[in-house]
Structure formats: structure tokens, C-alpha cells
Amino acid sequence: MSTPLWTAADVATALGCPAPSRDWTSSGVSIDSRTLEPGDLFVALAGPNRDAHGFVADALRGHAAAAIVSRRPENVAADAPLLVVPDTQAALERLGQAARERSEARRIAVTGSVGKTGTKEMLRLVLGAQAPTHASVGSYNNLWGVPLTLARMPRETIYGVFELGMNHAGELAPLSRQVKPQVAIVTTIEAVHLEFFASVADIADAKAEIFAGMGPGGVAVLNRDNAHFARLAKKAEAAGLARIVGFGSDAAAEARLIDCSLHATCSAVTAAIGGTRLDYCLAVPGRHWVMNSLSVLAAVQAVGADVGDAAASLARMMPPKGRGQRFRVALPEGGFDLIDESYNASPVAVRAALAVLGRATIKQGGRRIAILGDMRELGVQAPLLHAGLAADIEENKIDLVYCCGPMMAHLHEALPATRRGAHAADSAALAPLVRRAIRPGDVVLVKGSLGSRMAPVVETLRALDTGDDALPRVVNGS
């Protein structure tokens, strides 16, 4: 019989509440009644747009083990298993703290301007093959996602992997203090969230807040190829970290890229990790994945796991949803390939995705097509940064570009007429235009910031599938 994640007594102790009148155990923790599993402990957070106290009854009807509330909802039974606290957000954080303190897990935190989720998923894969590993779900990297991930961590966890995100200064330090990571990865520093920062250097300083929760034995894994490496290293030293490990192609990097061969659906890599030469295959294409795999192997070494086994496990890496998943869509006359990068976008991420599209193999009569939505939070530089992608379109020989949103209008205007597909105000207007334009042999990339709502375009294109079982629905890589 498996050990419960939480008992009623454990939760009461963690929260400083009176012991509940009846005993229960929970197998999970949830903050959303729509995705709650039977046996979950429900935490009723009161957010700016929705107060989950209105869904406590739904959670209990869904067989929640109990609910943490700051007031008793009117529509629940008098004997409902409730733990009443002054502040449910603070209670979730205390529950996460208790989970961290009772576990001996070695914890790795990941941040950076781009590549956080992919790096976290690589760590989940390679460490999970060696020992019990717990990691953030999706992009649960903010003020509620981080404590929720901690609260869900089983006590027998050996490796914990946590994604930490921010778009304003001051947000990362409290998240780091909750996780208290022994190892921190900063994937890279780039021009994202410029709407909220005066300079990219200020973004580097905000990302350096990840060191705030680390002890003197901590290890920082930093991108040696990035212009802000020295700035981050200085911040890590000031925080008292024991060691700084650089990764990249720089000759001084401890996790160093020796060579790589970039293919349409994978990458072959030769690297030196702590002086040991490794050859491995990474089952996703793109130099950005290769570089982040170096940070993963450096972190694996820092927590004492087997680096060779970890490198071998990367051959099984699959991209997360909306971050490079590749689908084969069957049409009556033949199929086309669809690359789903719809979850998020920034100038550096779009350039990386266009490079992947540029290496894609197209069949006779096929084209490389990019469908791009607005990149958000770029401030006054947004028009220039959107238009600037025209050079990458040309460099990667993208045949046709469909643009979505007011900012992408600047790219549409910057493109030569031969590469212009169409521009539309939003994804709903663009989707039918794209649907009519696709033909067999094409390779189609869809990318945009989450707020641009490019996922419906992906669904529109996937819906064209005729269901020909001779074609694989999901293709490894991209």
C-alpha cells in the first residue's frame, strides 16, 4: 500500500491548525476543482479574477479528501472536512515548506529568459530514469505554481526539479526561498519582458534572484556563451555559492560543447562534462536544445547522479506540449508536417524555431511555412523586434509567412511580397486562411506568445487529418 502524500494530522501540524474532527488522507493537492482527482486536498485560493471558495462544494462532490479555506463557504455541509486558516495562499506556502523539510530530495531550480520548461523536462526525464523524481507540471512556475509543486512532492523523492519564472523584478527571490535549491540553472538572458525592464542587464539582475534561497554549498549553472555570464557569476559569488559551473561552447565552460550535428528531427552531440567526453543523441532538433542539454548534464553531475546514463536518456526526450511537438497530418493527396510552438514566443525563441524550420526536410512540391503570432511584453521596441525577424525568414529560406496580430503587421510589411502569406488581426481570422493554403509536402510552424492564442490555429490544422493510419500521428522530435 502506497504512503499517502498527506494525512490530516500532517496538514494540521504544517498549518498550525487544530486537528480535524475526523481523520483523512490525501493522495494529491489541487487548486482547481475542474482538474481535481479523487483524494486530492483542495486549497481554495482567492485570486484577482476568481475566488476558489465558490468551488469548494464542487471539490468535495468530486471526492476531495478535504479543503483548506479562509472562511466557511455557505453551500457545504456542517461536517465537511475543512481546515480554516487566515490566508490560503500562505497556507499553501507553509504546506510546500513542510513537504520540503520532510524530504531529503536534492533540489534543482531552473530559470532563464527562454528554455525553462524544456530544460526542466529534460531533467525530469534523465533523473527520473535513475531515482524517484518530482518536477513541476507544465509551467507551474509562479507564486502559486511553485508552492503547489512543493506541496505535491512525495517524501520519498530523491530529485526535485522546479521551474521558477518571473516578468517583474522581485518575483524570483521569494520563490527561490521556498524551494531552497542546491543547484540553480539560468538557461540564458535575452530581451524578453522588456515592457517591464529598462534593459537586458536589469533582466539578468532579476534572474539572479534565484540565488537568494540557496545555501553556501549551492551550485550555479550558468550560460558561458551569454553576454551576461560575468554579471550572473558575480551575483552568485555575492550570494555565497560554493561553485559556478559554466556551460556552452566557450573554451572555459566546464560543460562544453565540442561538436554537434543538427538534423531535421534530432541532434547528435559531443560534449565534455567536467572533463569527461560524452557522445549522445538528443531526440529534439535545434541548437537551443543542445545548449540546454549541457546545463542539464552539468546539474546532473552537481547532484551526484550518473551523467553517462543521463546523456543516454536524452535520446528519449520529447518536447512539451506547445513547445516543439511535431505532428504528421494526413490529407487525401498526402500529408504535411506540423510543428506546434504555440505556447510562447520571444525574439530569441522565434529565431530558434525558424532555424529548426529551415532545417526541415520538405518533399517535392512542399514549402516551409511559418505562422507567427505577436510576441508580447516587448515594450517600445516591439515593432522593431517583430520587423527584425524578416532577416531570419530570409536566412532560413522560409517560403511563406502568415502573420497574426498588430505587432506582426510590422513583420508582414518588412517581408518581400513573395514570402507574404497573409496578415490577420487575430488567430480566429487567420486560421481559415491558413487552412485553405496548406498542401501536401508542406512543413508548417505555428508560434506566438500565449496571449496571441495560436493554439487554435494548431487545432484547425490538426483537424484536417483524414485519419490515415498509415501515417504516424506524432513524430518524435522538432
Residue 35 has pLDDT above 90, yes or no: yes
Residue 8 has pLDDT above 60, yes or no: yes
pLDDT for res 426: 95
Residue 478 has pLDDT above 70, yes or no: no
Q: How confident is the model over 341-383, as pLDDT tens digits?
A: 999 999 999 999 999 999 999 988 899 999 999 999 999 999 9
Q: Which amino acid is at 469?
A: D
Q: Does domain 325-475 have CATH number 3.40.309.10?
A: no
- Residue showing cell 495560436: 454
Q: Where in the chain is the domain with CATH 3.40.1390.10?
A: 6-88
pLDDT for res 471: 40
pLDDT for res 184: 98
Q: What angle do CA 426, 430, 432 make, to 5 degrees?
A: 140
Residues in a beta bridge with 108: 161, 183
Q: Of 373 and 20, which is predicted with more confidence?
A: 373
pLDDT bracket for residue 1 (50, 70, 90): low
Q: Is the Cβ–Cβ distance between 431 and 457 less than 8 Å?
A: yes
Residue 289 has pLDDT above 60, yes or no: yes
Write b or e for each residue in 343-377: b if 16 or more Cβ atoms lie within 10 A of its Cβ, otherwise e. bbbbbbbbbbbbbbbbbbebeeebbbbbbbbbbbe
DSSP state of 476: S
Residues in a beta bridge with 26: 6
**Superfamily name and number for 6-88:** MurE/MurF, N-terminal domain (3.40.1390.10)
Residue 472 has pLDDT above 80, yes or no: no
Interatomic CA distance for residues 413 and 420, integer angstroms: 9
What is the arithmetic mean of pLDDT over 291-304? 98
Q: Of 87 and 22, which is predicted with more confidence?
A: 87
Q: How confident is the model over 385-422, as pLDDT tens digits?
A: 999 999 999 999 999 999 999 999 999 999 999 999 99
Instruction: Find, among 216, 130, 131, 205, the residue nearest to 166 by Cα.
Output: 205
Q: How confident is the model over 414-469, as pLDDT tens digits?
A: 999 999 999 999 999 999 999 999 999 999 999 999 899 999 999 999 999 987 53
**Region of residue 324 (phi > 0: left; psi between -120 and 50: alpha; otherwise: beta):** left
Q: Where in the chain is the domain with CATH 3.40.1190.10?
A: 103-316
Q: What is the share, in percent, of the chain residues with pLDDT greater than 90?
A: 89
Residue 168 has pLDDT above 80, yes or no: yes
Q: How confident is the model over 193-240, as pLDDT tens digits?
A: 888 999 999 999 999 999 999 989 999 999 999 999 999 999 999 999
Cell of 281: 543523441
Residue 84 has pLDDT above 90, yes or no: yes
pLDDT for res 477: 32
Looking at the domain that runs over 103-316, which CATH code has it been given?
A: 3.40.1190.10
Residues in a beta bridge with 336: 329
What is the arithmetic mean of pLDDT over 63-89? 93
Q: Where in the chain is the domain with CATH 3.90.190.20?
A: 325-475
Q: What is the share, in percent, of the chain residues with pLDDT greater than 70?
A: 97
- Residue showing cell 507564486: 143
Interatomic CA distance for residues 42 and 348, integer angstroms: 38
